[in-house]
């Protein structure tokens, strides 16, 4: 069963945050090695800071939008 994982693409001076639906974190990191799965939501991240629908992806789908830019 898939669940939503909070992920971050760290570009050095900040990060791009997104949600990825997967069965386990390793599915995400094996397909997208540049993403880091975040296991505990950062204390600074409010509901307004959380990624929205345009930054939510499924690991089994072809990458679209922003995710296509980092797909190997």
Residue 50 belongs to what domain range?
3-69
5: left (phi over 0), alpha (psi -120 to 50) or beta: beta
∠ CA 3-29-68, nearest 5°, is: 90
With 0-12 / 13-18 / 19 or more C-beta atoms within 10 angstroms meaning exposed / middle / buried, residue 67 is buried
Three-class SS state of 53: helix
Number of domains making up the chain: 1
Total-model pTM: 0.92
- 18-37 pLDDT, tens per residue? 999 999 999 999 999 999 99
Q: What is the pLDDT of residue 13?
A: 87
């Amino acid at each position: 069963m898939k669940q939503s994982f909070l992920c971050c693409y760290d570009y050095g001076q900040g990060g791009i945050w997104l949600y990825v639906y997967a069965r386990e974190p390793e599915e995400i990191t094996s397909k997208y090695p540049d993403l880091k799965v975040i296991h505990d939501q950062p204390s600074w991240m409010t509901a307004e800071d959380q990624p929205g629908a345009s930054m939510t992806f499924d690991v089994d789908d072809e990458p679209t939008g922003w995710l296509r830019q980092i797909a190997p």
